[in-house]
Amino acid sequence: MKFSELQQQLKENFGIDHLADIARELGVSPQAVSNWKARDRVPYKYVLKIRKQLEESNAQVSDRSENSGSGSDQGFPQYNYPQYLEEDTISLTDILQVLARQLKIIIITPTILCILTIIYVLFIAEPVYVSTAKIMSSGGSGTSQAAGLAAQFGFNLPTDQSQPQWVYPEIIKSRTLARAMLNRKFDTNKYGPQKPLLQILTYGDQKKPTVGLNTLIKSGVNGVIGMINIKPNGSFYDLTISAPEPVFARDFATALLEELDTHQREYNKSKTNKTRQFIEERIAETEKELEVAEETLKDFRARNRRLENSPALLLEQQRILREVSVITGVYTTLKQQLETAKIEQVKELDYVVILDPPEAPLKPSEPKKKLTVILAGVVGIVMAMIIVFIKEVFVIKDPEDKKKMDNIKLLVKNNLKKMNPLNNKKYNQ
């Protein structure tokens, strides 16, 4: 049955015209009646209910007119309205009808979102180029090579087990290395040739920066660290550099590896110099001690030329000889260590072994244009469906329901005013 026919029947037989009265009569929600009116269709079970009520009403009117001839007002049956609301079920057909009525929203919303996304990825978003390199440390083999070289000259050198193990992620992303990178110069298409990295990452084309040097350096350090990503890959490390230009990304990665090698070389050089200085000082002290011990032994032998018949003199000679032997051993060991330090200073060793050198990428890694546009279309479709169903569910179409909603809003507004403490003070005054 069409909703217009149902509304006509209820109006003629029961005097019911408004949607809210129809909902109370049938025991459903006003929104369900609004949906019937929008589709112009009434579920069959409610049609049967209306027919039954009409038959009962006609039978009661006939009986009362025959028996008492009373007025027409007594012919309307009295019903006990239910105290609950039964929600109407929503079928796939209802959903499709709702979508068909709001087809413009479903088409326009994702289309607009896709167009805006295309404009953003093509003209607004800055491309990001990624240059990668694979590196490893050669510090572990340097000690063994130095020990082997010294052994060829007759020195038995102990290996330095306390040599520091380089932790590349922490060193590469340290502020010390980032500050060193800020002094390097690079060629870029945007800012021109040989521009300092501090200028590229901070004030750009401006002639003079608007902030102080410390603020610039802090911002530049954060920018350098943000461009670097390094991850361990077994015994190797994968270094990734992200930059707005492909050649700049490659040059940045190359300069970073050079600074890393220089940093480790300077650290080892500083440590070797301190070690050599300490050994030389100890050799000088030990040499003096050895000279004193040898002079003591010479004087003892000069004073006591015949020792065979004196056990006390033999014991004293053994003590002096032992002292000279100990100091001689210390002196020999220090000399060996000094030779090792000298070898460490003059040897040429690459502390960073580059397995795969950085290269300029051919195309940007971000933004992913196709994927971004597809995701924008999917999000637009979802947003459109949400807007459609919100519009269908929460938009009140019946004038009487709108009037009731306005009254509710006014009542809530008045209650909020009364709850306001400022208004309560005015009333109390």
DSSP for 315-378? HHHHHHHHHHHHHHHHHHHHHHHHHHHHHHHH----SEEEEE-----SS--BS-HHHHHHHHHH
Class for the domain spanning 129-356: alpha beta
Q: Pick from 268-277, 370-379, 411-420 the range whose average pLDDT is largest.
A: 370-379
Query: Comparing C-alpha atoms, which of 247, 257, 256 is closest to residue 362?
Result: 247
Bridge partners (DSSP) listed for residue 232: 237
Across residues 249-278, what is the average pLDDT?
89
Q: What is the pLDDT of residue 23?
A: 78
Q: Is the pLDDT of residue 340 over 70?
A: yes
Looking only at the bridges linking them, the beta strands covering 228-233 and 185-188 are unpaired
Q: What is the pLDDT of residue 407?
A: 55
End-to-end CA distance of the chain: 63
| DSSP one-letter string for 383-396 | HHHHHHHHHHHH--
**Per-residue buried b or exposed e for 88-107, using 16+ beta carbons within 10 Å of the residue's own CB:** beeeeebeebbbeebeebbe
Amino acid sitting at position 223: G
Q: What is the pLDDT of residue 157?
A: 44
DSSP state, residue 166: P
Supply the Cα-derived Rg of the chain in whole angstroms. Answer: 47
The CA–CA distances, whole Å, from 96 to 1, 36, 41, 102, 125 equal 20, 15, 15, 10, 38
Q: Please state, in angstroms and rounded to a whole number, the distance separating the CA atoms of residues 208 and 406.
A: 61
Kindly list the domain boundaries of the chain, sorted by start residue: 1-68+78-89, 129-356
SS3 4: helix
Across residues 153-178, what is the average pLDDT?
65
| 297 burial level (CB within 10 Å; 0-12, 13-18, 19+) | middle
Across residues 107-123, what is the average pLDDT?
92
SS3 159: coil
Across residues 199-211, what is the average pLDDT?
87
Lowest-pLDDT range, 54-68, 109-123, 208-222, 253-267? 54-68
Alpha carbon 184 to its chain centroid, in Å, reads 29
CB atoms closer than 10 angstroms to residue 427: 7
Q: What is the pLDDT of residue 417?
A: 61
User: C-alpha angle with apex 34: 402 to 3, nearest 5 degrees?
Assistant: 130
Q: Is the pLDDT of residue 185 over 90?
A: yes
User: Which residues, 6+ apart, have CB-to-CB distance to 87 below 8 Å?
Assistant: 28, 29, 32
Cβ(229)–Cβ(240) below 8 Å:
yes
Alpha carbon 44 to its chain centroid, in Å, reads 55
Q: What is the pLDDT of residue 79?
A: 43
Q: Is the pLDDT of residue 244 over 70?
A: yes
Lowest-pLDDT range, 40-54, 109-123, 223-237, 303-317? 40-54
Q: Pick from 66-70, 285-289, 408-412 the range whose average pLDDT is largest.
A: 285-289
Structure tokens at 255: 């300069």
Q: At what angle do helices 44-67 and 19-26 cross, to 10 degrees?
A: 90
Q: Is the pLDDT of residue 224 over 60?
A: yes
The more confident residue out of 41 and 374 is 374
Q: Pick from 152-166, 274-288, 379-393 the range whose average pLDDT is largest.
A: 274-288
Q: What is the pLDDT of residue 397?
A: 53
Query: Comparing C-alpha atoms, which of 251, 226, 220 is closest to residue 133?
Result: 251
Q: What is the pLDDT of residue 182?
A: 94
Lowest-pLDDT range, 64-73, 276-285, 315-324? 64-73
Query: Comparing C-alpha atoms, which of 187, 194, 132, 200 is closest to residue 362?
Result: 132
Confidence of residue 180 (pLDDT cuts 50, 70, 90): very high
Lowest-pLDDT range, 49-63, 192-206, 221-235? 49-63
Mean pLDDT of the chain: 78
Q: Is the pLDDT of residue 57 over 70?
A: no
Confidence of residue 58 (pLDDT cuts 50, 70, 90): low
The more confident residue out of 14 and 158 is 14
DSSP state, residue 79: -
Across residues 153-168, what is the average pLDDT?
50
236 phi/psi in degrees, rounded to 5: -110, 180
Q: What is the pLDDT of residue 166?
A: 56
Q: What is the pLDDT of residue 321?
A: 92
Lowest-pLDDT range, 331-340, 367-376, 400-409? 400-409
Lowest-pLDDT range, 154-158, 211-215, 218-222, 361-365? 154-158
Q: Is the pLDDT of residue 310 over 70?
A: yes
Across residues 320-348, what is the average pLDDT?
87
Confidence of residue 380 (pLDDT cuts 50, 70, 90): very high
